[in-house]
Structure 1
């Protein structure tokens, strides 16, 4: 790959766009480094199916990028890692308190792949000669029962000792990071389990959403391990099951406000749930113009979240009074994107930062477009 343009932007005439670049493969995931000190670092993930007559699993490939936002509308590529498997989701480790984000800890990056792999990376210390950061592989594990079963999403428990993963066969699994093995696996949905997430305020509670149009809440203490987690259990029973009009694609527990969970669906709506009262959501938006593939709560403002809405572009949403009985579009962004909006994330910033600028990174699929904008 020619990296000669890694410090240049292709066209920043789009309103609000800080930087944009076309990646070599189709792009689907963006994650900012969860630290106020390194708030300009972010990763991007891609998933490509090559032309050919062999099975899809033999033709999938991907690339993981590490970028750093510089001044003067420049984003520098620090690293790229190639795989014979496509990247489907990435998440950094996190804590449940926005004000205590990794000032002294070393976050880990979990990456799930189309062949069922889970890769975990650590950001190394800056090289003394070049002064650039690099991702270093900590461990690699096969967490799917079969390479034809895609690992679709992941999330970290807040103690960073466990990862939940979801799969194209509708199952969920719990992965013990220290032990390096799956400990529990169960059938959660009738079709693809598009998304899984932890409750950041209750480490035994897991959320999932699937193509069967259901949002489910699980208590992992009631799910028994079977055969070292290598077989599926159909006997697991969720605490709650809520139905949407179409498949559930995105879930994010509020990192600072206990009991508040945002859920996105192919039906183009965001629903905010209060776990203390699950009869109906606190609010449901009108159509956002496309299926809500990713939702991310803001790390600097409890009342804001951002969405990647497939055919509807990217939106920041806000609850004006903080009760989440209302939720309205605060800003929208299309920029140079001409394809399915899949990946989105906020950078970390706070009032004491020397650079108070907050960025949103986003990517779209078929046009291979990655951009950074300023909300």
Structure 2
């Protein structure tokens, strides 16, 4: 993975001091700083689905889930950030300001549109892949991209993944579920097999929470809903045995995997105490955390340290949710506050992600 050209910043230690090579020591080039959680907005997709049967109902459901107060804030927030979401030059300038060398760019989850028919769903995933690839082509050494998978039409999952890879994207983004289907559904087995075979990255990023109107105030739809959806989705992958059957999957879970990593002891206890809980997976649930990658976007240095402890520093990747207001404007600074060891800091800052994104 190519790093940004120009003079290289000295890496800051987690305690805030700086360190360089000892005098006379061999100088090694540090890995690039890689942000694996950054989004692009694709107006072409919204123009495609506007006015189609089911679109109005989907918008109404989203409005109920978020509530009127959140919607009043969301519009101006996105408007202010529109250049960062659509203009590669604005994105690159912001990355420079953050000290980020490389972004893994995924379409806004608002583009999932899990209500569309098969024909429209195919158009959406094709447009998403092609438009994201075009955005990243503005700086291919600094921007890598992901396509979309229409989970509501499982038969399209493999073609969607293949289409994304054909656009020189490194994988696909998926939601935590589709209406009436969890990620443990056997219908997704061909997709998991193909993702494992190709080595594609599968970025798990929820959109919306099925707790619906219970979370329609105070932006609970996001602050509670997103980590809940992450935890449920990962639990389905673990307890159903998907990760046993496809051990080579390269899954990256947004939002630090939600509540699951910090409450994995309860899952282990259920697996040990109850036959129904251990009927699907071979090993204790906590052992599977070291088969999943997680972004660092947990908003708490102590939670980040715990995530590194239970999953391993080689499974945690820098993530900012660029450029939304629920993300970090200074992801490296947020990582530094966690006061990890030097080796762990460097792995999370970019070492692991650079290896993950490197082309064969």
Q: TM (normalized to structure 1)?
A: 0.32
The answer to which structure, 1 or 2, has the higher relative contact order (CA under 8 A, 6+ apart) is: 2
Structure with the larger helix share: 2
Q: TM (normalized to structure 2)?
A: 0.33
